[in-house]
Amino acid sequence: MTGDICDALRSDIAAGKFPPGKRLPGFRELAGQYDCSRGTIENAVRILADEGLLRTVHGKGTFLTDAGTPLPRKVNRIAGAVLLRNGWLEAMEKLRDEYLKKGWFVSTYCSSEDLQNPAAEKQFLEHALAQNFAAVILVGTPLEPLNTELYRKMRRAGMKVLHLTHYKDDMSGEAAILPDYRMAGALACSAAAMRGCRNFVYVAPTPVLSPSTRWRQIGMTEMAGALKLNRLKDMLIPRHSGDIADADFAKFLPFLKKLPPGTAILADSCELLHAFHLFRNRAGLSGEPLFDLSLSGTSPLAPRVNHVSFDYEESIRLAMEYVMDNNLLPLSPFQKNLPPKLFLREDSDSSKKGLSQ
């Protein structure tokens, strides 16, 4: 509830409802305007004060700061793009000339090369701000230290900042076009159930660093409960800098030898699922799981495995529409969701049976 009221306040601030320097209505009046409790309004005002949009003076009231409205700035028709390979980057490269014909130049930075290093991302964003880019669209790094405060600074300066995925769990108040990772997890379980599976094993990295992985797990757990799919065991594979090795799976060998019929293997990434296939072959395990699937498709290995993914070209198109729409203000909350899609290998039995999302 508080997040919704924060969004409504930010939107009204961006629209000029509260003039800078003028006292806002009291908490009781604001609670009436936004149809919520006084406590919710107080929490929302506290959050916006922490963001620098409002300031509260004891005995005098709450005021809009100068940061509440974008500063006048020269804007070039340049959009920065911080993107990962195997999805968003290729989509942008495909569409770049289309936007150039519309008078927009897109400056891209491939964050895959720096493993989404927060310092490298920050350097690109600060350059974009200094060069008066009109906007930045980005797959923001989920690694600490997050660049949240820099994103806010850019928006307050009048630059649009649009996120193409979760860089933190709670994206309320951000401008974002978000893949529906929760639905992706649910879709994976639905695909397994439609295939006749009654059990599944989840192969996942540890520790979990990405909000997208956490949302996929939530959706998977919810749908498994609804469909009465048994979650047999989580095979947690440690993260490390090298390739995934057989040794990472070897400790699960006794368990894998006793997998019951009707078991699906659901992996968090194409890399994990592909490495599992290789291990099974080298370990001489007989038989195959009834169905296997990666919950993510941002990988060069995606064509080799069944996977859930998203329309990254549509993501880029929606992002550029947001950038070019002068009616959408940098400080206004803006969110859309992208639905997941199921992609099956051409040689998959399930593809021959017409399984779709």
Preceding peptide of 207 cis, ω within 30°: yes
* Cβ-contact 308, 297 below 8 angstroms: yes
Closest C-alpha among 318, 324, 322, 314 to residue 102? 324
Location of structure tokens 């996929």: 216
Same domain, 189 and 175: no
Q: Does 347 share its domain with 221?
A: yes
Rounded distance, CA 285 to CA 256, Å?
A: 8
Asked whether residue 295 falls in the same domain as residue 212, the answer is yes
299 in any annotated domain: yes
Q: What is the 3-state secondary structure (H, E, C) of the chain?
A: CHHHHHHHHHHHHHCCCCCCCCECCCHHHHHHHCCCCHHHHHHHHHHHHHCCCEEEECCCEEEECHHHCCCCCCCEEEEEEEECCCCHHHHHHHHHHHHHHCCCEEEEEECCCCCCCHHHHHHHHHHHHHCCEEEEEECCCCCCCCCHHHHHHHHHCCCEEEECCCCCCCCCCCEEEEECHHHHHHHHHHHHHHCCCCEEEEEEEECCCCHHHHHHHHHHHHHHHHHCCEEEEEEEEECCCCCCCHHHHHCCHHHHHCCCCCEEEEECCHHHHHHHHHHHHHHCCCCCCCEEEECCCCCCCHHHCCEEECCHHHHHHHHHHHHHCCCCCCCCCEEEEECCEEECCCCCHHHHCCCCC
Give the residues across from 64 on adjacent strands.
54
Establish if 232 belongs to a structural domain: yes
pLDDT digits (tens, 9 = 90+) for 226-243: 999 999 989 999 976 667
Q: Assess whether 169 and 263 both reside in one domain.
A: no
Q: Which of 68, 84, 111 is the last residue of a domain?
A: 68
Q: Of 217, 235, 225, 223, which Cα lies nearest the Cα of 189?
A: 223
**Number of domains observed in the structure of the chain:** 3
147 and 233 part of one domain: no
**Does residue 276 form part of some domain?**
yes
In this structure, the answer to whether residues 147 and 93 fall within a common structural domain is: yes
Asked if 108 and 79 count as a contact pair (C-beta separation under 8 A), the reply is: no
pLDDT at 178 (0 to 100): 97
Pairing label, strands 199-206, 230-238: parallel
Residue 13 CB coordination number (10 Å)? 23
Quote the domain boundaries for residue 100: 76-179+312-338
Whether residues 289 and 192 share a domain: the answer is yes
Considering the domain architecture, whether residues 7 and 123 belong to the same structural domain is answered as: no
Structural domain includes residue 357:
no
Residue type, 276: F
Cβ–Cβ < 8 Å for 53, 16: no
40 inside domain: yes
Same domain for 316 and 298: no
- Tokens for 326, please give them: 């002068």
Query: What's 33's domain CATH number?
Result: 1.10.10.10
Question: What would you measure as the largest C-alpha separation in the chain, in angstroms?
Answer: 76
Whether 104 is in a domain gets the answer yes
Q: Are residues 214 and 348 in the same domain?
A: yes
The CATH number assigned to the domain holding 334 equals 3.40.50.2300
Find out whether 351 and 345 touch, Cβ atoms under 8 Å.
yes
Tell me the C-alpha distance between 218 and 226, whole Å: 13
- Ramachandran angles phi, psi of 62, nearest 5°: -110, 135
Kindly state whether residue 244 falls inside one of the protein's structural domains. Answer: yes
Q: What residues of the chain score a pLDDT lower than 70?
A: 66-75, 240-242, 286-289, 346-357
Query: Are 137 and 106 part of one and the same domain?
Result: yes
Half-sphere exposure of 37 (CA within 13 A, CB side): 5
Output the pLDDT for position 348. 54
Indicate if 113 and 21 belong to the same structural domain: no
Tokens 């990254």, residue? Answer: 312
- In angstroms, the CA 337 to CA 312 distance is 12
Could you tell me the pTM of the whole model?
A: 0.78
The answer to whether residue 115 sits within a structural domain is: yes
pLDDT of residue 54: 82
